């Protein structure tokens, strides 16, 4: 059951929507106490969000057609993830009261790259 959920394109779409909603959330709605008060925790969250993006989209593609889910597909998903992260920073800057943060983009790329590297090992097996 969990495997089918992970491999569903709807889960990947849902994850993409969660990223969007979290990125447009007003800053005063984001807690900054307790666990949320940890310095740079937001960067870890960015890495997890965009690593999850790459992983879920690749898994959904893999479940649809095992023969076409190779390194080229993974590279395209990685690129889309990076572009989505950059676009969301511009959305934050122009359409919300949140600031553009280049370090958020760096964290997005690191998370996507870690997922890409892990999935590359998975493809080889």
State the pLDDT at residue 36.
Answer: 63
Cα 55 versus chain centre, distance? 8
Mean pLDDT in runs of 10 for the chain (125 residues)? Answer: 85 97 86 69 95 96 70 92 97 91 97 96 78
How confident is the model at residue 122, as a pLDDT?
81
pTM, 2 dp = 0.88
**CA atoms 60, 57, 44, 96: torsion sign:** negative
Q: What was the pLDDT predicted at 1?
A: 77
C-alpha dihedral (45, 104, 86, 94), degrees to nearest 10: 100
pLDDT at position 71 is 76
Residue showing tokens 């969301």? 88
Provide the pLDDT for residue 33: 63
């Amino acid at each position: 059951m969990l495997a089918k959920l992970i491999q569903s394109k709807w889960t990947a779409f849902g994850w993409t929507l969660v990223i969007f909603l979290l990125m447009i959330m007003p800053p005063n709605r984001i807690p900054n106490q307790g666990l949320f008060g940890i310095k740079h925790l937001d960067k870890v969250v960015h890495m997890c969000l965009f690593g999850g993006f790459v992983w879920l989209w690749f898994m959904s593609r893999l479940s649809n057609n095992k023969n076409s889910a190779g390194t080229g597909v993974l590279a395209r998903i990685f690129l889309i993830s990076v572009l989505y992260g950059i676009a969301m920073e511009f959305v934050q800057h122009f359409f919300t009261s949140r600031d553009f943060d280049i370090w958020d983009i760096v964290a997005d790329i690191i998370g996507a790259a870690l997922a890409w590297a892990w999935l590359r090992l998975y493809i080889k097996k």
